[in-house]
Each structure stands twice: as structure tokens, then as C-alpha cells.
Structure 1
Amino acid sequence: MSLLSKLFGKSEQKPAEPVMYEGFAITPQPMKEGHVYRLSAIIEKDGQSHHLIRADTLPSVEAAHEAAIEKAKQVIDQQGARMF
């Protein structure tokens, strides 16, 4: 982590690769809040997108990625294309 990133709190996390599920692309985008990460993801299909944000916070970016993918799959199973 660079000195400027440490001073200004910018994280250097790489963008996550999308995960395909039932024809939807799920891209985890955890939001850093202090020392934890808020669960967040983009769900896309056919040029439409939905930004999924939940109150859940997790201690690591990896845990937030995994939880975002699982939550997005649940939303897709429950709502499908109606989420758009």
C-alpha cells in the first residue's frame, strides 16, 4: 500500500471478476467502511443492472466477496429479472 493510500484511506483492491449464475453476471464490489467491508455487488443481465447493497459487514474483502455472491444468487433465485 502506498504512503498516500495509507494517509487518505484509499484501498488498492483489484476489481473482482464477474461470476455467472443463471445467465446473470454477479460482480462483488465490497464497500470499505473503517476496518470492515459492507456487502455490495452489481447484478447484470441483458444490458440492465441492479446494485445490491446490504447492511451486513464483514472483516475481510474476501469474506465480503463470498457473501456478496451468495446473497446475489439468493436474490436472483427469488426475484429473477423482476429485480430490474
Structure 2
Amino acid sequence: MIGKMFKSLFGGSGEGAKTKSEAMTVAYQEYLIIAEPRPANGQWQVSGRIEKQVGDTTRTHTFIRADTLPDETGAANEMVRKAKMMIDQQGDSIFD
């Protein structure tokens, strides 16, 4: 019982409830932006990934920012905003 409590508090083996914005996916140009905010010290850290299908291959760029926000939805929205800016500025070179 105490073990389950610690797992739920500290993330344990990755089991447990998924966050509500884990499924937040936005199509932008020919990319897919997947917001995956992470809990961090009582706040939500801006993180996620950008994917692009190239033939039979899915190219992925994962990033985690130092930015934290008080709510998960805000962190997910900020991730999408930053990802769009990164795509606009760097294009496919984000995968290099």
C-alpha cells in the first residue's frame, strides 16, 4: 500500500493515470505536434514532440523546455505555440 502511494506521488514505473493533454495533437503544415506536458514541482513543464511522415518513416523531434506553467492545458498550449514557431524557423532541420 505504501509502495503504491510512493509510485503515485513520484511517477513509479510509468503506470497510472494519463494526463488530459497527452492526447493533444495538432496538425500544422506537414507536421504533427503532440503536446506532452510533464508535472514539475507543482507546475507543468512545457514538453512534447514534433513528427513528420517521410515515406514509410516517421521522423521525430522531442523537446523539453525549462518553461513551467501552473496548469496542464496552458503548458500544452504553450508547447504547441513554440513548436509552430520552431517549424516556421527551422523546418525539416529540426530532425538533424
Change (3 A) 1:34 1:49: same
CA distance in 1, matches of 2:81, 2:68: 14
TM-score calculated relative to the size of structure 1:
0.85
Deviations, residues 9-49 of structure 1 (Å, cap 9, x unaligned):
25731322310001100000001112101100110002100
Amino-acid identity (%): 35
Q: Which residue of 1 aligns with 2:92?
A: 81
Runs of 4+ displaced beyond 4 Å: 4-7
Q: Which residue of 2 aligns with 1:71?
A: 82
Change (3 A) 1:65 1:5: farther
Q: Which residue of 2 aligns with 1:45?
A: 52
Which protein shows a greater Rg?
2
* Cα RMSD, aligned residues only: 1.8
Q: Gapped runs of 5+ residues in structure 2?
A: none
Matches within 5 A, 1:1-84: 4=4, 8-9=8-9, 10=11, 12=17, 13-14=19-20, 15-46=22-53, 47-84=58-95
